[in-house]
A and B are shown apart, each in its own frame.
Chain A
Amino acid sequence: MNALKIPSLEIVYLVSGVLFIIGLKFLSSPARAKTGNLLAGIGMILAVAVTALDMRIVNWTDIIIGGLIGIPIGYVSARVVKMTAMPQMVALFNGAGGGAAALVAAGEYLRLSADNATTAANLVPILLSLIIGAVSFAGSLVAFAKLQELMTGRPITYPGQQIVNALVVLAIVALCALMLVGSPTPGMFIAVAVLAAILGVVGVLPIGGADMPVVISLLNSFTGVAVAITGFVLGSTVLIISGTLVGASGTLLTMLMSKAMNRSLANVLFGAFGSAPKGEAAAAASASGGPVRSASVEDVATLLAYSRSVIIVPGYGMAVAQAQHAVRELAANLEKRGVDVKFAIHPVAGRMPGHMNVLLAEANVPYSQLFEMDQINPEFEHTDVALVIGANDVTNPAARNVTNSPIYGMPILDVDKAANIIVLKRSMNPGFAGIDNPLYENPKCMMLFGDAKDSVSKLASGVVAA
């Protein structure tokens, strides 16, 4: 296969790989991130351009047909997607990549079996790429459906679930073993693909919506690994380098995210988070019957306007309501009155790490006002008002002391240490993890019910008038 390549052009793939690495490096600093994306994009264009000269390509029709369909779909959906739906969009693009890797493996299998050239040595990478790609494809679609609320975000569990999942894995392993030692048939190949897709679905179903960021990150690294193995299948070093880069960095990112929630990755994947002892947790928290103070916009605006310091805690509610611009306006109006305003960003606030940062950056909130959990937590006790905008689980004190709560042990923002707590919320419905929040019964806590954008806009003008 290597004989079909033009060796002098291989150097361009190396340049592509280097550009990807430098691009990722640049993405670690806000100032250079855009350049990083540009460099990676140039690397991609170079790789595609060189591939166009590959002698294995004898017919351009299908490449052009596929490109003419895929390019507009990818571009348009990336342009029109709302910032709040960004996590789902990344999940979909990731699923597409996984599906493509599985299909490339299928294409190679077809070519090899047409030549009667299938051997154990070339089947192993083909099957691995097929399985991981199909798992990533199907799993990403389920993650998308959960985040888009096409299906319930709650964990879906049933008796014997782990056994069913284990049986699917066993069936895949058995089929692959049969193909490697015996004579592989296209039927077996298709069965492996279908089973792997089923594995992706049943693997993601029992994971709750609150854990989707971790799952998307993990599936992202899966696709990376699938692409790297596709590189072994096709003898392409640029696929190996790029896929492995994504696989390794995605794994690291996934572990960082699990760590931020104080849970192991295994616990996220197999813990059926949120379906755990919900009844008991609710009873311990007794939120259903507890007294909750509701406040008017005027009350809250006055309290904010005459505070010395305010810490704003944004969450998914802000994202859903598209309230980030109103939040920026409120912060600016408060600062004009001499109030010290800071933003507290929990590592898993929203649906992806950094989700809040992206939204607040969109609304022109300077980075210098955003603080990570470890930096801001000691400040709550010296703060007059903690203003929680659509964040729930990341402020839930049950994580500290209710040992049977599904989020027990997750580090939270210490909003309950502030002198006053204001919670902006649509209703008393529990958060994405599906558990009640005893914070709302805290005597220092006032609830302002309503759409976050509407409430914050009213607060922004109310603060000026106060």
Chain B
Amino acid sequence: MSETLLFELTVFVLSIFVGFEVISKVPSMLHTPLMSATNAIHGIVVVGAMLVAGSAIGGEIGRAIGIAAMILATINVVGGFAVTGRMLQMFKAKPTAPDAPAKKS
């Protein structure tokens, strides 16, 4: 096993634990915005799409793949953040105890 792969696996395994830990205390009222936000975060694939589209290899097919990857990834990332923002716009702070339903045990 190469040193790079070992490093990447370490990051991978630790991220699994962080992912579980960070989500486990979310009240169900925020589940939809949360799902939408995680959806936006996997839009990070746009970084991969940029590398593929920008590397200019594989001729016409390679270009088509790169452009298609860029289109789909930007739809994911831009749409994801915009739609999450719209959902959260509706959670305006209320004078009456805004955290009340979050007390779920």
Contact = CB atoms under 8 A, between A and B. Distances in A.
A73 B71 contact: yes
B47 A23 contact: no
Given A70-B70, A90-B83, A103 B25 contact: no
Contacts of B50: 48, 51-52, 54, 57, 63
A74 B84 contact: no
A107 interface: yes
Interface stretch (A241-249, A266-274, A395-403, A427-435): A241-249
A62 B39 contact: no
A29 interface: yes
Contact of B28 (A31, A92, A235, A347): A347
B78 to A, nearest CB: 4
Given A24-B23, A108-B52, A47 B104 contact: no
A101 interface: yes
**Interface size grouping (class) on chain A:** 35 or more
A232 B20 contact: no
Question: Chain B interface: which size bin?
Answer: 35 or more
B73 A354 contact: no
Contact of A30 (B20, B53, B67, B99): B99
A224 interface: yes
B102 A366 contact: no
B35 A71 contact: no
B23 A252 contact: yes
Contacts of B89: 34
A104 B45 contact: yes
A36 B37 CA distance: 9
Contacts of A354: 28-34
A33 B30 contact: yes
Contacts of A465: none
Contact of B56 (A59, A220, A232, A250): A59
B92 A96 contact: no
A144 interface: no
Given A223-B42, A375-B104, A69 B71 contact: yes
Interface stretch (A292-300, A308-316, A357-365): A357-365
B7 to A, nearest CB: 8
B45 A24 contact: no
Interface string B1-37: 0001100100110011111101111111111111111
B105 to A, nearest CB: 8
Contacts of A107: 52-53, 55, 58, 62, 65-66, 69
- Which one of B4, B42, B48, B89 has the greatest number of beta carbons of chain A within 10 Å? B42
Nearest to B66: A62
Contacts of A380: none
Interface in A221-245: 223-224, 226-228, 230-245
Interface string A4-48: 000000000000100011011101111101101100110010011
Given A71-B78, A74-B77, A248-B16, A27 B33 contact: yes
28 contacts: A21-B18, A28-B25, A34-B85, A37-B33, A37-B84, A48-B46, A56-B54, A62-B53, A62-B66, A62-B67, A63-B54, A63-B70, A66-B67, A74-B74, A90-B39, A90-B80, A94-B39, A97-B42, A107-B55, A231-B8, A240-B11, A250-B38, A253-B38, A256-B31, A345-B29, A358-B33, A372-B101, A372-B104
Given A245-B38, A249-B20, A250-B38, 18 more contacts: A23-B41, A24-B34, A29-B102, A34-B91, A56-B51, A73-B71, A90-B39, A90-B80, A93-B39, A93-B43, A96-B75, A97-B72, A101-B45, A235-B4, A244-B16, A246-B42, A354-B33, A366-B94
